[in-house]
Structure 1
Amino acid sequence: MIKNYLSHVCSILDDNDEILTTYQPEEGAIEIEAESVLREHIGVVPIFQIAFSQIVGLPSYEEGVFYIVKPIVVRAAKDLGRTIDDLFLPAFPVTDDEGALIGFRGLASARDL
């Protein structure tokens, strides 16, 4: 089972841009709690160090259940010692002629990042 924890629909398209499957967003959002410390400036741009303290809303690992998430969720999970074996990212975005996102070619395992 795959659950979508993005804030938008995640459609998987074939090479002809036909929809293979669509994942509706799950109820509730994943929130990342973090603290930041100003490390330095590059010119006028402040550079921060981010320290993740908690992930709220991401279910615990369950065999056979996978979650589509944002890259920041993967990073926080890694930093906080949670397994990422069940986390996936949308891969290879597909856009229409106006440049609007219409879906993805597939998913990428967070383990491969």
Structure 2
Amino acid sequence: MKRVYLLVITLFLLSLNMSAQKVYSVEYANQANVKVFVVDYENQADLKVFKVKYQNQAVKNEGRWFFTDYANQADKKIFFVKYANQADLKIYFVKYANQAGWINQSKLHLMY
């Protein structure tokens, strides 16, 4: 019985370390987990995002996003808003993977 509890606790702790970096862009704000605004300048962003080509490259909560084709494949559903004050998270798309990462650590929880 102790082994079952230990297994359940271990699986739970491992799931906490998993991150939501597979995203799907929804059509309506009420379908989204996170509302996102794309800023013009890096210093305005909470998160610098790099779009990866393959799903297995989108690991950890480091700003490497894989855009899925279907909502049920995504860890988070996002909606791109028109104005910065409507957003939960402000992002800036970078050209290289090593540039991706969090600027505003207080928003980190949004993508878990």
**TM-score normalised per structure 1:** 0.23
| Structure with bigger RCO (C-alpha 8 Å, 6+ apart) | 2
Bigger radius of gyration: 1
Higher strand residue share: 1
Higher helix residue share: 2
